[in-house]
Chains A and B, each alone.
Chain A
Amino acid sequence: MYGRGLRTLSIATVAVMAIALGLVFFYAPLEAEQGFLQKIFYVHVPLAIVSLCGFVAGGLMAIQHLRTRDPRWDMRSYVTIHMSLIFAVATLITGSIWAKGSWGHWWVWSEPTLVSFLIVFLLYATYQPLRFAIEDPELQSRYASVFAIVAGAFVPLNFLAVRLSTEYLHPRVLGSSSNLPAKMQLTFLVSLLGIALLYLTLCKYELTAKHTRAQLRALRRTLVGEGDPSYRRSRSAVPSL
């Protein structure tokens, strides 16, 4: 049930990413100032956008969880946030590489997006430890949802605050994509699509895997009964379905 469409999605993802790569390397023109390094922008910015949308989506799913108390929403929220965190790390790494290439330092405080990401990453890095630290599964799910909502609301406000504080230091390098020439715009959009699809596919894989495992445990419980030691789950940060 969860696995439906997984193959189509995977194929689509691979296809779009291949096209994107082709565009990045062969179609998009070299940027005057930064040369080849600028191409990392086609990876870094989509990663950032997808990751941020993921965090906010995780918060929205958490709202649904609190409203309906359906554990599946909690599972979706968990996977979304989990995946966004991984993409956020990738954002930070690619951003750092770009910073090193452009300014010679592995980290710059003058790039508000990067700085905001660091703060958001530090916040969401506590999500899993928070979950793991609460043993009662229902309490864990509920508290995690509250966290996801608070953190999701925090993301835009944080960006605003950091942008305000770094405004007068450096002209913003990332700029708005509407200033880009057409070829670059196209490449960027295809890249964005590719990374978004990658995100969705990975999330779907994880959801399917977890759901299957939960079904397996339920089956085992029915067959073997309450006395089965293997079904006595040890503490886990992963929501139970």
Chain B
Amino acid sequence: MRRTVAALLRKELLVELRTLESVPGMSLFAVTTFVVFHFALNQNSVSGDEAAGILWVTLLFAAMLGINRLFVADQDQGGFDAFLLAPVDRSAMLLAKALALLAYLLVLELVAVPAFALLLLGPSLGQALPDLLVVLLLADFGVAVIGTLVAALAVRTRARDLLGALLALPLLVPIVIGAARASSPLLSAGHAGSAGGRWLLLLGLYDLVFGLIAYAVFDFLLED
């Protein structure tokens, strides 16, 4: 299993490096969106709830770009057939794709969070950074799992980009709730506190439940 996941992940990252289809687009989209927000809100800096909201909405929509692309190369070129014919555990594809998406999200955040701190965020991020990283990681895991599931569901349909977004956004609402509520105190002036434990718990619970469900149903999406 581990060998298969490694092989798949390697292929995934190789294709992404060659085409640079997902990550640069996602990152650029995030930065551009921050600029749009500045003009839309007519504000030079934001903090607290507002900041959390802008950050997470932007990250979410940028993630959608990556999610929509996740299975496209396989569907159009490499095909799932070769994988399905190999003597391997099929859940490996779920793991590999989710890990790849997670990697893309982490790179996205590496660009987007500093950009956000630079362009829009009022209070300084320094002290709150470790806590924020925890929130980001927990939320990313959930987005990666849900994103992989939704991407697999949408890729064989006719309006794949549209359906992908329509399916993913409601499913990601609880993650937005958890992540935004948890980040809000971290993005407030004077570092008003640590991320509330209950929100981290919510994120963790969501990640766990959907991780298990994804593992259980994914095989059924791959068959013909």
Contact = CB atoms under 8 A, between A and B. Distances in A.
B90 interface: no
Contact of B213 (A134, A153, A164): A153
Interface stretch (B13-21, B51-59, B107-115, B158-166): B158-166
A160 to B, nearest CB: 7
B183 to A, nearest CB: 13
A146 B218 CA distance: 8
Contacts of B99: none
Given A119-B170, A161-B202, A162-B177, 14 more contacts: A66-B220, A119-B173, A122-B169, A123-B170, A125-B166, A130-B163, A133-B158, A134-B156, A154-B170, A157-B174, A161-B174, A162-B174, A164-B177, A164-B199
Interface residues on chain B, size class: 20 to 34
Interface stretch (A21-29, A46-54, A137-145, A186-194): A137-145
Contacts of A143: 153, 156, 221
Contacts of B169: 122
A184 to B, nearest CB: 33
A153 B210 contact: yes
A129 interface: yes
Contacts of B224: 139
Interface centre among B149, B171, B173, B214 (most CB of A within 10 A): B173
Contacts of A158: 170, 173-174
B217 interface: yes
Interface string B44-73: 000000000000000000000000000000
A66 B217 contact: yes
B167 interface: yes
Contacts of B202: 160-161, 164
B1 interface: no
Contacts of A154: 170-171
Interface residues on chain A, size class: 20 to 34
A160 B159 CA distance: 31
A130 B167 contact: yes
A136 B160 CA distance: 15
B206 A146 contact: no
Nearest to B198: A164
A28 B66 CA distance: 55
Nearest to A121: B170
B170 A139 contact: no
B32 interface: no
A165 B220 contact: no
A146 B178 contact: no
B156 to A, nearest CB: 6
A149 B170 contact: no
Contact of B157 (A130, A151, A153, A161): A130
B177 A161 contact: yes
Given A134-B157, A149-B217, A122 B170 contact: yes
A134 B166 CA distance: 16
B205 interface: yes
B174 A123 contact: no
Nearest to A235: B158
Contacts of B206: 157, 161
B209 interface: yes
Given A164-B177, A165-B181, A126 B213 contact: no
A147 interface: yes
A195 B108 CA distance: 49
A126 B166 contact: yes
Contacts of B149: 146, 150
A161 B220 contact: no
Contacts of A133: 157-159, 163
Nearest to A131: B157
B81 to A, nearest CB: 14
A119 B149 CA distance: 19
Contacts of B214: 150
Contacts of A146: 149, 153, 217, 220-221
A89 to B, nearest CB: 15
B76 interface: no
Nearest to A122: B170
B216 to A, nearest CB: 8
